[in-house]
Amino acid sequence: MNSTETLGAEVGVVQSCSALGVPRSTLYAQRHRKENPTELKQRPSSPRALSSDERNAVLEIAHSERFADTSPAEICATLIDENTYFCSERTMYRILASHGETKERRNQRRHPIYKKPELLATAPNQVWSWDITKLKGPVKWTYYYLYVILDIYSRYVPGWLLASRESTALAKRFISDTCEKQQIKPGQLIIHSDRGPSMASKGVAQLLADLGTTKSHSRPHVSNDNPYSESHFKTMKCQMTAVFAINGKLRDLELLIISIATAPACL
């Protein structure tokens, strides 16, 4: 409208409205509203509306220890069963809404705020990332579980394990043997993982405490907090699909896993 007024002062209202596609009636109506502003009339209250004392009584009932964790519908139903009536359910919602109390009234568990893990490695064997992935076997309904530890600085795989199942006992032996092979000293290493059953198990936590290794976990329900292992598995499975589709033998699968798991990952 401002552009129409500006252009109309130079070429006229008819030409301005025609050029900008604005109806002249709309322009004239806006001018009239600016020249004759109308005050908003306050809506009269209903004669059946609750008084301030009655509204305070409803708030006291809703804030009482008896009804502190119940909804307005349940409060009204309970009071009606006791032959007590303060207001309707909708009126109680309006009173609570005017005080900002229409959210969840029950006592809810407050989930802690998990900080995003930030791991920095300036040399090998400072931060490891490990995970377990499921691999299809040569026969239908046959699967293998690949345990892989990845050094996030060099992308080298210091240890891996191919097993027929996922268990805490295998994870403990796998981590212990890898730390012993790499000669990891207490306080030297941080091991990061997601929150899988083996990673977050009590046995693995106790093992890392005995080894003097700091453990780090991804945030709950956040899959991209462990990108190194996930990217490594994606690279491995993309190459494995091509080779396995040609040969389809377990021997070829094992050789492929050995060749890829011991090579640096490509991100």
**What is the DSSP code string of the chain?**
-HHHHHHHHHH-HHHHHHHHT--HHHHHHHHHHHHS--PPPPPPPPTTSPPHHHHHHHHHHHHSTTTTTS-HHHHHHHHHHTT--S--HHHHHHHHHHTT--S--S-------PPPP----SSTTSEEEEEEEEEE-SSTT-EEEEEEEEETTT----EEEEESS--HHHHHHHHHHHHHHTTPPTTS-EEEE---TTTT-HHHHHHHHHHT-EEEEPPTT-GGG-HHHHHHHHHHHHHHHHHHHHS--HHHHHHHHHHHHTSPPP-
Q: Please write the tens of the pLDDT for every residue from 199-243.
A: 999 999 999 999 999 999 998 888 888 888 988 888 888 876 555
**In the chain, which stretches have pLDDT less than 50?**
246, 250-251, 265-267
* Number of structural domains found in the chain: 3
Question: Does residue 159 share a domain with residue 68?
Answer: no
Regarding whether 172 and 63 lie in a shared domain, the answer is no
pLDDT at 250: 46
Answer yes or no: do 166 and 246 share one domain: yes
Q: Are residues 255 and 133 both part of a single domain?
A: yes
pLDDT at site 190: 93
Query: Do residue 137 and residue 252 come from a single domain?
Result: yes
What local confidence, expressed as pLDDT, does residue 191 receive? 93
Same domain, 90 and 20: no
Structural domain range at position 72: 52-98
pLDDT at site 205: 92
pLDDT for 258 equals 53
Query: Is there a domain that residue 30 lies in?
Result: yes
The verdict on residue 112 lying in a domain is no
